[in-house]
Amino acid sequence: MSKGFEREEEFYELLRQARSDCPNFKASTLKAIITKTNPEFLEGLFEPRACSRKLRYIGPTWNKQVCLVDEDEFFKLGKIYKSIDFTGATYLIEGSEDRRIGSAYFEDCTSFKEIDD
């Protein structure tokens, strides 16, 4: 579990449970339900918070063909980057402060001993 992002993880767990019964269930529907039942839960959810992590860029893993053809101009496969903040879904990365990028594009290497600052 990502310290400080427990509510985001809980939201994703609820979404996974709903999608196991109804694969087309939308996150926006879950947010609407939570708004009616527990609006405090949504306060600050997915807002950027300081988060310094070492992240290895693994690219769009859901489509390996894209990964081989459309490499990003800034992000290079296998290279380590440092995050500035995290929303529970997207990172802001040092050197690429003009855009956010989804956490699915990275492997968190923060605790790996072989990675140096």
Nearest to 107 by CA among 53, 63, 40, 71: 53
pLDDT tens for 76-103 read 999 999 999 999 999 999 999 999 999 9
Q: Is residue 24 part of a domain?
A: yes
Q: Which of 45-49, 62-66, 108-112, 113-117 has the highest mean pLDDT?
A: 45-49
pLDDT tens for 40-57 read 999 999 999 999 999 999
Q: Is residue 29 part of a domain?
A: yes
Residues 65 and 15 in one domain: no
Q: Is residue 25 part of a domain?
A: yes
Write the CB contacts of 106 (distance below 8 Å, at least 6 apart in sequence): 55, 56, 57, 58, 81, 91
Q: What is the pTM of this model?
A: 0.80
Residue with tokens 């992002």: 5
Q: Is residue 54 part of a domain?
A: yes
